[in-house]
Structure 1
């Protein structure tokens, strides 16, 4: 197993917790959705970075950092270049959604580096963050979609699948020959 604890169960519990927090019918439900989306803005990249460090995957740490820097540069650059107003007069520089690009960059890194078993819960949380930005009337669907595309793209540029085993030995035979193979993955 990649981690000493069970991250799939932890992610499932986090998703359940967020659903419970945001699905109760209270006066401040909108505030809870917005606040939980704001928390994920920090929790997602911290989890991706901490997970790579806990696994001793320092190459993954470097890949995450490169994707994170690119994501922030593109997102902030577009915010200033496009200068689109946010919906309902909630400010300026609404395109693209920074919360969404950050959480989707983290989710895409986790998925591409460590597989879909870890990636699906991460994408669910990233999608929830996008929903929280629309629900809080800070962004529209195009802002969130652009943020997701930028986040996923910036992660995919630098991220390679995690290779815990660097050496592989293979053996193949047929009726007339034998073949011994050795593969070393860098």
Structure 2
């Protein structure tokens, strides 16, 4: 079905991207609360906040014009994409690839929606810039989640015995 000059799937894709750019970080934050992972909550707040500040600062500093001569100068980096990739990379970095791969799939969908939606708000460089900002801010502040804080080890070799103790803070 064609609605004007755009097909229906383009509108669905753009709407999906609009939802996922908020849903992915919301899921990341909610996960820290459900797990009572207060350190993760702090790390998420720092990484997501940094991503937002960098994204909107770069938009003001760089002033790249949006595609299709819209006379809007805030294209780089894509805010939708930096938000989605910040949430996705937090999930992956903190809780592993088991969950992160699905979050990244959603974030990639957001990036595609910004280029291929009916309004075509961004080009590939804007989307890649947003992804780099989102992922980069996460990797600055986020460490992998661990429930094991203490470990006792035992090792033997011939007549030598060794007991070890390790504690993570």
Q: Shared fold by TM > 0.5?
A: yes
Deviations 1:110-135 (A, max 9, x none): 00100010111111100010000001
Corresponding residue to 2:25 among 35, 39, 45 = 45
What is the SS of the residue equivalent to 1:95? Answer: coil
How much does 1:165 deviate? 1.2
Ranges in structure 1 where 5+ consecutive residues have no aligned partner: 1-24
Higher helix proportion, which one? 1
Which residues in structure 2 correspond to 1:93-108 (within 5 Å)? 93-108=74-89
Aligned length: 162
TM-score, scaled relative to structure 1: 0.84
The structure 2 residue matched to 1:157, chosen from 140, 160, 166, is: 140
For residue 122 of structure 2, give the secondary structure of its aligned residue in structure 1: coil
1:67 aligned onto 2:47:
yes
Among 58, 66, 70, the residue aligned to 1:78: 58
Task: Provide runs of 4+ in structure 1 moved above 2 Å.
Answer: 25-28, 89-92
Q: Give the 5 Å matches for 1:4-153.
A: 27-90=7-70, 91-136=72-117, 137-153=120-136
TM-score, normalization by structure 2: 0.93
In 1, the alpha carbon distance for the partners of 2:53 and 2:142 equals 17
Q: CA RMSD in A?
A: 1.1
Residues 175-186 of structure 1: pairs in structure 2 closer than 5 A: 175-186=158-169
State how far apart, in whole Å, the 1-side matches of 2:29 and 2:148 are. 21
TM-superposed CA distance for 1:41, in Å, is 1.2
* 2:112 partner SS: helix
1:169 to 152, 159, 162: 152
Q: Which has the higher contact order (CA 8 A, sep 6+)?
A: 2
SS in 2 for 1:93: coil
Counterpart CA distance in 1 for 2:69 and 2:82 is 22
Q: Report the 3-state secondary structure (helix = DSSP H, G, I; strand = E; otherwise coil) of the residue aligned with 1:117.
A: helix
